[in-house]
A and B are shown apart, each in its own frame.
Chain A
Amino acid sequence: MTASPRSDANAAPLRHLLDSGRLIVCVGPGGVGKTTTSAAVGLRAAMAGRKTIVMTIDPARRLANSLGLDDLTNDPQQIDLSDALNLTGNEDHGGELWAMMLDSEKTFNDLVDRLAPDKGALKRAKENNIFRLLSSALHGMQEYMALEKLHDLYTGGYFDLVILDTPPTKNALEFLETPGRASTFFDERIIKWFLPNRKSGLLGRVFNPGSIVLGLISKVLGESFVNDLVEFFDTFHYLQETLQQRGELIEFILRDPLTHFFIITSADPRRIKEAVYFHEKLGQLEQQADFFIINRVIPRFHPEDIAAIEDTDLDALLREADHEASADRISGLRQRLETHYLQLARLAIRDREAIASLATKVGHEALRLIPLLGEDVHNLTHLLKLSDFITPLAPDARVATAKG
């Protein structure tokens, strides 16, 4: 186990995934810097020469900040890599880094525009009450639309590698389960219950074999809502087939041997527990995590250092800094520094114990550690530093900044 790029047996397999993979799905709990870590992974792949796009569906705008952009949009934006190449003294291998943030509403509208059979259908769709609210406000659209966008990026042919940053916890699991869910929603059998029967108009619909259910739903949800619903299903009939095909294709993509899963977590015991949960959940979905990237590990402080320090030595050093200071003040400051260091050392040990417990479940070779650095990641230099802990560029071209 190492947080440093120095002695690094696990770096090579990870680098191999970046060189050959087509899709890397990053899952993990929130608040561990998952989006930033995904960007760091993307940066490393791009610097190695791959045309890479990082897509985040997390509503937070962290990715834009860490890439030095003001904002991310639904359209991919290219990140200038020249600074990164200069800083590391690396050659340009022809790689590109792009980033985007999913805008569910816009993606949905684009999809409808593209698939609508005629202008009339488009107009009807846009006037439908349910469509209007569905496209802007409702839960679940994000996951459907992420798949839609993923499908575009993956099959578009431009990008070598798509890095997909998923929403934390529950949503991420939904995301993985969505292919099935989306096709269920548009399940043909269900639609038949609601679709207008050609022979008999509205009445026929109410008194068709689904009438009891439909009647009950009307009773509960209100007549006008049900009418809108019927119209919605009618109008969106043409979406059903496409979405179903997409769902199947996405399931196929997720099972491709060139698709990899990274679980990104921190060393906090509760987060490690969540990481294990993801690991097990992936197992249930017949997938497995290739790597666990543990972010923000407290640096290796040693509680025994306190015993190794002579109080008189430290007092003398402090006194040199301020000859006027009273003995009480000096010893008070020394005690505070020692107390604080000891607490940090305990946190550091707690982190390593949690990491060791994860290692017993998934193996040391699947772990990568990134320490909690002294500064926030909000520019390319910081991102380079992170990516150097994920996998060093090459044995002879270490990132200069990581040595500071």
Chain B
Amino acid sequence: MFDVAHCADVASLSLLFLARSARIFLTMLDPLLDKRLIFVTGKGGVGKSTVTAALGKALAARGKRTLVLETDTFSAMEDLYGYEGTGLEPVKLSETLYASNLMAEDCFVATLTRFVPGERVARAVINNRVARVFFKAAPSVNEVTILDQIRVFYEAEDQGKPRYDHIVVDLPASGHAVTFLNVPATMNGMMRGIGPIAKMTAQVSTIINDPKQTAIAAVCLPEEMPVNETIELASNLKSVLGRPLTLAIANMVHRAPLHDDDRPIFDALLARVRANAPGTSSLLFDEEPTDESDALARLVEGNALALGWHDRDQRYLGELRSRVDAPVIELPIFYETSGDDVVANVARQLGGDSSSLDHPLAI
């Protein structure tokens, strides 16, 4: 009989991972190690926040002071890192890991305070109902003030050294990412380059558009639409911002249930099972309790389905690799329920060696 405990020993495997990551490998993180600012985007629902959290954790684990930022959102990091946010000031999560969710309202106050003479005047504007409503409703004010706050963290120094080695930003979904990153340039154009805010927007867009210090990473799933969107994103970055995509991260890739060599054996098995028990594949979609005598047929059909998912994933990844001029890395699906476990696992995948992809917990 199959030993259930055999594959469920998460704790010992975690130790194995720790042992592995202590050694020096060529890691998936390599394209990001020399980037101080890392923007992470991706189509909604691809695990963008989880991967961002894992990136932050993996960079921090290398001893780099890392700040993970969210941009005025229903915070995923609080859940993933298990912390509670307190305004703009980053919360220290470990010796090297910090996080903050940049709420637009706070950023607006902070930006305004930097640009009008004296806090008293800033308060006067902020407390003016008309000005408040105007800024709240005016498009792109949120984006500019959030990006300005990111610039402040980026330029922050302690004793002549940058306060943060890496700043990882969980950006809005890729459909909005280019618009978001282009807001400073747009705003600058609107102001015709005149005035202190225009100067600030010019600085911000210079930082964003420099591929040497700033990375833009796209998380996607090995599926048709996310892959298409990543291809589109890479081309929009080129045409709108004039800079390349740094890295594509394919998340939740289905692992093959068997070795390629064994496919003919499996195919023959499948054919035989289907001949003996024709209705099984549709039974899988039935919620009602099923007959024990179908167990073997279900096992085979289940694996056939999984093999199909794997093959489909690889087709889309092939498409992605051929059409995006950036390295593509793969992260497997993990089945742990808690967000914390998934982040830890993905962080180890990112920071560890690629052989850990064969990890039995990954599907």
Q: Which residues does A use to contact B, with CB under 8 Å?
A: 1-4, 6-7, 29-32, 58-62, 65, 129-130, 133-134, 137-141, 167-171, 181, 184-185, 187, 189-190, 193, 210, 212-213, 216-217, 219-225, 228, 266, 269-271, 274, 277, 299-309, 311, 313-314, 317-318, 320-322, 325, 329, 333, 335-347, 350, 369, 371, 374-376, 378, 402-404
Q: Does B314 contact A (CB under 8 A)?
A: no
Bound Cα distance A213, B126 (Å)? 10
Partner of A222, one of B4, B191, B221: B191
Instruction: Kindly list chain B residues whose C-beta atoms are within 8 Å of the C-beta of A303.
Output: 4
CA–CA, A141 and B176, complex, Å = 12
Chain A: minimal CB distance from B336 (Å)? 9
A-B contacts counted at CB < 8 A amount to: 277
Ranked nearest first, the 6 interchain pairs of A and B with the lowest CB-CB distance are A31-B45, A30-B44, A222-B195, A321-B268, A59-B175, A168-B44
Contacts of B175 in A (CB 8 A): 58-60, 167
Contact with A along B264-306 (1 / 0, CB 8 A): 1111110011000000011011111010100110111011011
Please report the C-alpha to C-alpha distance between residue A32 and residue B226 in the assembled complex, in whole angstroms.
11
Interface residue tally on B, bucketed by range = 35 or more
- Looking at the assembled complex, report how far the CB atom of B284 sits from the nearest CB atom of chain A, in whole angstroms: 4
Inter-subunit contact A221/B299 (CB<8 Å): no
A7 and B287 alpha carbons, distance in the complex (Å):
10
Would you mind naming 20 contact pairs between A and B with Cβ atoms under 8 Å apart?
Answer: A29-B45, A60-B175, A61-B225, A61-B228, A137-B179, A138-B140, A167-B173, A170-B73, A171-B176, A185-B138, A220-B112, A228-B190, A300-B285, A306-B2, A306-B4, A308-B295, A311-B1, A314-B296, A333-B266, A337-B257
Q: Which of B4, B131, B190, B269 contacts A213 (CB 8 A)?
A: B131
B356 within 8 A of A: no
**Does B160 lie at the interface of the complex (its beta carbon under 8 Å from any beta carbon of A)?**
no
If the complex has contacts A31-B44, A31-B46, A299-B305, are A318 and B224 also in contact, measured as CB distance less than 8 A?
no
Please name all residues of chain A whose beta carbon is closer than 8 Å to the beta carbon of B45 when the two chains form the complex. 29-32, 168, 266, 271
Contact of A277 among B74, B191, B281 (CB under 8 A): B74
B135 to chain A, nearest CB (A): 9
Return B244 CB to nearest CB of chain A, in Å: 21
B262 within 8 A of A: yes
A341 and B299 within 8 A (CB): yes
List residues of chain B with CB within 8 A of the CB of A220: 112, 115-116, 195-197
Q: Are B258 and A336 in contact (CB under 8 A)?
A: yes
Q: Least Cβ distance of B127 to chain A in Å?
A: 11
Stretch at the interface among B13-21, B181-189, B205-213, B319-327: B181-189
The contact string, 1 if C-beta is below 8 Å from chain A, for chain B 111-125, is 010011000010011
A270 to B339, CA, bound (A): 8
Contacts of A325 in B (CB 8 A): 265
Contact in complex: B296, A309 (CB < 8 Å) = yes
Contact string against A for B residues 75-98, beta-carbon threshold 8 Å, 1 for contact and 0 otherwise: 010010000000000000000000
Bound form: Cα–Cα A168–B44 in Å: 7
Q: Report Cα–Cα, A143/B215, bound state, in Å.
A: 29
